[in-house]
Amino acid sequence: MDGNGRWAQQQGRLRTFGHQQGSESVRRIVRASRRLGLRALTLYAFSEQNWERPRFEVEALMALLKDFLVSEREELIQRGIRLRMIGRRERLPGHVREVLDDVAAATADLDQMTLTLALSYGGREEIADAAREIARRAQAGELDPELVDARFFGNVLPSMEVGPVDLLVRTSGEQRVSNFLLWSTAYAELYFTDRLWPEFEVRDLFEALAEYQTRDRRFGRVACAATEGTLADPAALVASGVHV
Ligand code: IPE
Ligand code: MG
């Protein structure tokens, strides 16, 4: 979700106004994704690197995140949406952790769609954290290093709980991944749009999905494959669905 600041600048407003409008985009895209029957939606809401932004902006983003969680709580429950987070939870302010835990607990058993918020998240950090934990377990004699392969990683990375990414959408014209879901995007289809996040409409989501449907996903093979899950793990196929 990129381009909040540039959008605000275009209107002659503060960057935080862009974030405010950006959170409206989040609301409509979450709603539309659920209506479309997407199984999983992961939003890169705050990166591990975003802490370097001015304090005022970080605080505004945290306040908006809290507002979103408080105001959407009932709707998430009604629509059967499970909310979870990935990232360094301990770095978030206590007042955000509190509502996050509350909404996560209240929606834990819902199964219509999984909404994952990537907060204080970095793809490299996630992989490094998992590697450290694996090394620790191996050193403690609890894990045979021979068991550690790509599939093993797929089972331990929090971002992989919803399966590999099918479609990665980035707004605002930048064409980079910026430390998002590095592992699970290995075979993701990438979609870039010039639209700035606050102006990203439901029809833009439709366009991205329509484009996705024209892609021929081969996963390194020659024949057309349905999803990445069919290659390794039938359970992952069931769990994955279209992951935006
Ligand atoms: C994305 O918009 C929002 C977050 C990272 C939280 P930006 O704030 O990165 O907007 P630009 O890139 O400065 O326009
Ligand atoms: Mg940006």
Q: Would you state the pLDDT for residue 234? A: 36
In angstroms, rounded to a whole number, what is the distance separating the alpha carbons of residues 166 and 55?
35
Pocket test for ligand 1, best of 172, 177, 196 (most atoms within 8 A of CB): 172
Cα-Cα-Cα-Cα torsion 187, 189, 190, 195, nearest 10 degrees, comes to -150
In angstroms, rounded to a whole number, what is the distance separating the alpha carbons of residues 58 and 126?
21
Pocket test for ligand 1, best of 6, 64, 169, 171 (most atoms within 8 A of CB): 6
Q: 200 alpha carbon to ligand 2 midpoint, in Å?
A: 14
Q: Would you state the pLDDT for residue 228? A: 65
Parts of the chain with a pLDDT under 70: 224-244
The domain ranges of the chain are 4-126+163-243
Q: Would you state the pLDDT for residue 227? A: 61
Q: Would you state the pLDDT for residue 223? A: 77
Residues having CB within 6 Å of any atom of ligand 1: 1-6, 22, 46, 50, 61, 172, 197
Catalytic residue among 50, 129, 179, 204: 50
* pLDDT 10s digits, 99-145: 999 999 999 999 999 999 999 999 999 999 999 999 999 999 999 99
Q: Would you state the pLDDT for residue 230? A: 42
Q: Catalytic annotation on 111?
A: no
The token pair at 149 is: 């392969």
Q: Would you state the pLDDT for residue 225? A: 58
Q: What is 4-126+163-243's CATH topology? A: Undecaprenyl pyrophosphate synthetase (3.40.1180)
Closest listed residue to residue 153, CA positions, set 168, 178, 133: 133
Find the helix packing angle between 55-78 and 94-107, rounded to 10°: 20
Q: What pTM, to 2 d.p., does this model score?
A: 0.91
